[in-house]
Each structure stands twice: as C-alpha cells, then as structure tokens.
Structure 1
Amino acid sequence: MSVSEQLKILCVKLDVSVSELGRMAGKSPQAFSQKLKRESFTVDELKHIAEATGCKYEGSFVMLNGERVTY
C-alpha cells in the first residue's frame, strides 16, 4: 500500500479531509496534495503528521525471519 493510500485511510479514520490533514501537518492544502500525488513524503514528515494527529509512525523493514530493521 502506498503512503498516499495510507494517509487517505488515516483521514477517513480521523474523520478529516485531506486538506485538513495537510493543515495539521503544517502544509498548505495545495502543497500537501502535490506531495500526495508525487509520493514524496520523507520519514521526518510522516513522523510529524503522526505527531500532529496523535498517532505513532513506525517505519521498518521486516525480514522474512521476522527480524525488524528500523531507523
């Protein structure tokens, strides 16, 4: 699942629009929408979005043996 899809699902679960999520993240609705289209979010931006929405962002690689490689 792409980051954009995850963020749109987050919007539904939080009952906010994509524009409002962008504002919560400190971006203009237009800039946030462009980032969604380009899939150009950094890990730091995703952490900021999580913090702004009261969520926790976890980014990691999970190896086939179950071992996690996290940042």
Structure 2
Amino acid sequence: MDIPKKIKLATTYAGISEAELARRLGSSSQAFGQRMKTGKFSSADLDKIAAALGAKFQCSFKFPDGEEV
C-alpha cells in the first residue's frame, strides 16, 4: 500500500478530512492535495502528519532474526 492510501486510511480512522489534516499541518488543502497526488513525503513529513492525527508513524525493516532497522 502506498503512502497516500495509508494517509487516507489514517484520516478516516481519526475521523478527520484531508482538508482538516492540511489545516493542522499549516498547509492549504490544494497544496496538500498536490502532495497526495505525487506521494512524495519525507520521514519528517510523515512524523508531522502522524502527530497531527494523534498517532505515531513507524517505518522499519524487520529481519527474520528479530533485528529491526
């Protein structure tokens, strides 16, 4: 699943619209919509989105031996 789809699911779960998320991030809904179309978000962007949703963003590689990077 790509990042924009995950963000859409997260906003639905949090009970807010993408426009409200954009407002919480200090962005216009048009600018945020454009970012959603390109799907280009940095790790810092995803942390800010998670905080605005009251969540935590986790991204890692987990190996069979339990090591997580």
Fold match, TM over 0.5? yes
Q: Which residue of 2 aligns with 1:38?
A: 38
- Cα offset for 1:67? 2.1
Q: Size of the alignment, in residue pairs?
A: 68
CA RMSD of aligned residues (A): 1.1
The worse-fitting range, judged by mean Cα deviation, of 10-19 and 36-45 is 10-19
Q: Answer yes or no: is the 8 Å Cα contact 2:11–2:18 preserved in 1.
A: yes
Residue 34 of structure 1 deviates from its aligned partner by 0.6
Would you say 1:11 and 2:25 are equivalent positions? no
Q: TM-score under structure 1 normalisation? A: 0.85
Structure with more of its chain in strand, by fraction = 1
Identity value in percent: 37
SS at match of 2:61: strand
Secondary structure (helix, strand or coil) at the match of 1:68 reads: coil
The aligned amino acid for 2:34 is Q
The 4+ residue runs of structure 1 with deviation greater than 6 A are none
Larger RCO, structures 1/2 (Cα 8 Å, 6+ apart): 2
